[in-house]
Chains A and B, each alone.
Chain A
Amino acid sequence: MSLRVKVFLPLLLAIVLLAAYLYVLWIPRVLADAESAYRNSVARHLESVAEGMVPLMLGKQLDAVYGNLDALLEKNADWVSIRLFDPQGRLLYPLRASGPAGRKDGPGARTLTQEIRYLDAKLAAMELQVDSTPRLKEISQGSQALIYTLLAVLLLILLANGLILDFMVRKPIRLLADASQRLASGDFDMSLPKPGNDEVGILVTSFAGMRDAVRTHTRRLSEANEQLLQEIAERRQAEDALRRAQEDLVRQEKLSILGQLSGSVGHELRNPLAVMSNALYFLREVHADGDETTKEYLGIIGAEIANSQRIITDLLDFARTRPPRKVAVKTGELVRQSLERCAIPENVTVTVDVPEEASRLNIDPLQMQQVLTNFIANGVQAMPQGGSLHVATRLVPGIEPGNGEREAEIGQVSNAGPSVSHAGPSVSQPESRAPVPEKEAFIEIRVTDTGDGISPENMKKLFQPLFTTKPKGIGLGLVVCKNLAGANGGRIEAESELGKGSSFAVLLPMEGGDW
């Protein structure tokens, strides 16, 4: 129930009760009093008329009596009829006895009688019939008009009070309610009604004080909260840094042990493998005419010896990276020699997109051949059912000092960027970047296959040591490639889209100008 209803419903009920009282009790009482007063007034008037009639009756001036009574009837509209009788009961006035039509028997009709006496003698008797209905009706109408006016004034006052209540109480309270809601939602910049000198003004002033206090406390809490969050973030960063440092330390320690072990094992196994390889050579010579089964088994032995040698080579490369011996190398020559070192199956089509005027690279050609050979071998192995292998180069201009956009391009040579996306199948994984000298131009050599691609989960582990998806791999190839690229001032990027293929690129520094 609203404040307006609470305040005005009792007043409205009071007005209704007042109206009912006026209608039911007051008007009938007023009418009764008016009728009584009217009857008394007429009686007194009739007495005066009787007094005035005495000399006329004594002087037998019947015409004057007629004139007076006619005049009285004419002037008093509510006097219905007058009848004058002599002491013997003979009708003196009016000229003819009025019939039933001349008399009224309405609710306001009354008959008054008055004797005309002189000393002790009765001269005549007057019988006056009056009808107070019109007068009472007039009084009733006047009373009703008064009541209507009173009710209208009361309703107007009620309406005016309603407007005043709205303006002075309800509107400020509504504004305070809105302000409270905004305050609850943390908004302290609400406008408040201008406080007056009444209770609502006190409430507004109190609310403003409360708002200011809450604002002050909230600001202090926010500041404390921010400080706490900052401390937590700093602590979390410190913990992350500490955790990363510990992980790096553990990894470095493991890699160091792995490197030492790999170097030792590789060195020890290289000689027996060389002996086995020589022995295999002689067996092939001896059994040059052997049956196919023998040749097949010898082939298997040879392949496994080569595989083992490659594993040992990876182990040794991982254990210690030889400092590069950089020379100027033509990009096309590097690509051609790398392809020649790889056994490309017939079901794999190789396309090369290397411009004749491609720039020269300042690199160790053997190390970079090892990197490209690894890219090509991985691509071929990713397409056991056949496919196409595309090798392309392109110039990546050097970085101008302060050119952030250019820097971003170098940092994200792959279009997809380093993130892994589950919505789309394309995933890129740039390997950790080596510091890139300013104003230095690069040549990107990219090897793209149409194999099955690499899953996002595996892309994240692609450059981690000992991670491999191959049944005969030991997971050191790409790690070695990354180390070699870094040692030659370049870096490696990888992209893959599951079901469509993968793309590996190495960015290497140019040597001088164009050839």
Chain B
Amino acid sequence: MKRWSCALLRFGIAVALLTGAAPTAYPAESYTFGVVPQYDQRQLHAIWQPILGELRRRTGLSFKLAGMPTIPAFEKELLKGGYDFAYMNPYHLLKPSSSGSYLPLVRDAGNLRGILVLPRESAIKSPSELDGKTVAFPAPNAIGASMMIRADLARKFKVKVSPLYVKTHDSVYLHVVKGLADAGGGVEKTLEEQEKPIRDALRILYLSREFPSHPIAAHPKVARPVAEKVRRAFLEMAADQGGQALLARIPMKKPVAASAQDYLLMRKFDLEAFWVEE
């Protein structure tokens, strides 16, 4: 009996050693990847999981999509440096953080502009007519769709509107189409992505100033070579047709390398007064 016990123990040790020594099929390094929830979670996962899978194939690194149901929750996590990599609002790069500012890696070559949309049949001709009206915004701190528009409405057109925060750009457009809001704030890119009936039902009343697109950024805690590897992977994805199709769904039609310098001009917009702590 004793002999059998010893043999079993030796076999167990051998199996444990072999298992430990065997090369694992999964990358040892794993990074969290946060995405600002511009869309509902299902759509967000449908867009980003294939991209992270392709990224893993190209870099050999492992990424975990860290979903957040709301933009405020995302922002809180971002300020804490909770994500190793993140696709974020451009203004998020400018927000001071105790954990260190994120470093932009890539962005879309095209710039963004905030828009103010109305029902196509609306009689309003100028933003100045929106005084007292209900205007839908995705979130208070959405840079193009909310902060830039609210800033221009207040400073440039001197009107005071009743903001209605409806979480996403899609929701803004639906609210306007359905008459639940008199106008809505969005960006050109997201409007172009709407279905034709929605686009046909809306018209753009106002365009804001340009600013760089949403960046994919890395937290300072991520090793520089790793961050560079990720940047190269994104740029390489843009070079082939499959990668382009994946990135176009972000939307990021033409990725280019990004730097913090690209976003410094936004400090001149002086939008801090329109930042809302949630």
Q: Which residues of A contact B (CB under 8 A)?
A: 59-64, 66-67, 86, 90-92, 95-96
Contacts and interface: CB of A to CB of B under 8 A. Distances in A.
A62 B168 CA distance: 9
A66 B178 contact: no
Interface in B27-70: 39-40, 42-43
B40 A60 contact: no
Interface in B115-146: 136
| CB-based closest 5 A-B pairs | A63-B170, A62-B174, A60-B166, A63-B171, A64-B40
B167 A95 contact: no
A91 B197 CA distance: 16
Contacts of A64: 40, 167-168, 171
Given A62-B170, A63-B167, A63-B174, 16 more contacts: A59-B167, A60-B165, A60-B166, A60-B167, A60-B171, A61-B167, A62-B166, A62-B175, A63-B168, A63-B170, A66-B174, A90-B179, A90-B180, A91-B178, A92-B180, A95-B197
A95 B202 CA distance: 13
A113 to B, nearest CB: 20
A144 B273 CA distance: 73
Contacts of B43: 67
Contact of B42 (A59, A61, A67): A67
B103 interface: no
A59 B166 CA distance: 6
B43 to A, nearest CB: 7
Interface string B254-271: 000000000000000000
A67 to B, nearest CB: 6
Contact size class for B? 20 to 34
Contacts of B179: 90
Contacts of B166: 59-62
B164 interface: yes
Interface string B149-173: 0000000000000001111101101
B86 interface: no
Given A61-B40, A64-B171, A96 B180 contact: no
A63 B178 CA distance: 12
A58 to B, nearest CB: 11
Given A61-B40, A67-B40, A92 B168 contact: no
Contacts of B39: 63
B198 A95 contact: yes
B69 to A, nearest CB: 9
25 contacts: A59-B167, A60-B136, A60-B164, A60-B166, A60-B171, A60-B180, A61-B168, A62-B171, A62-B175, A62-B178, A62-B180, A63-B39, A63-B167, A63-B173, A64-B171, A66-B170, A67-B42, A67-B43, A86-B180, A90-B178, A92-B178, A95-B174, A95-B178, A95-B201, A96-B197
A96 B164 CA distance: 22
A86 B201 CA distance: 20
Contacts of B175: 60, 62
A95 B168 contact: no
B146 to A, nearest CB: 14
Nearest to A68: B40
A100 B160 CA distance: 42
Contacts of B171: 60-64
Contacts of B197: 95-96
B252 interface: no
Nearest to B43: A67
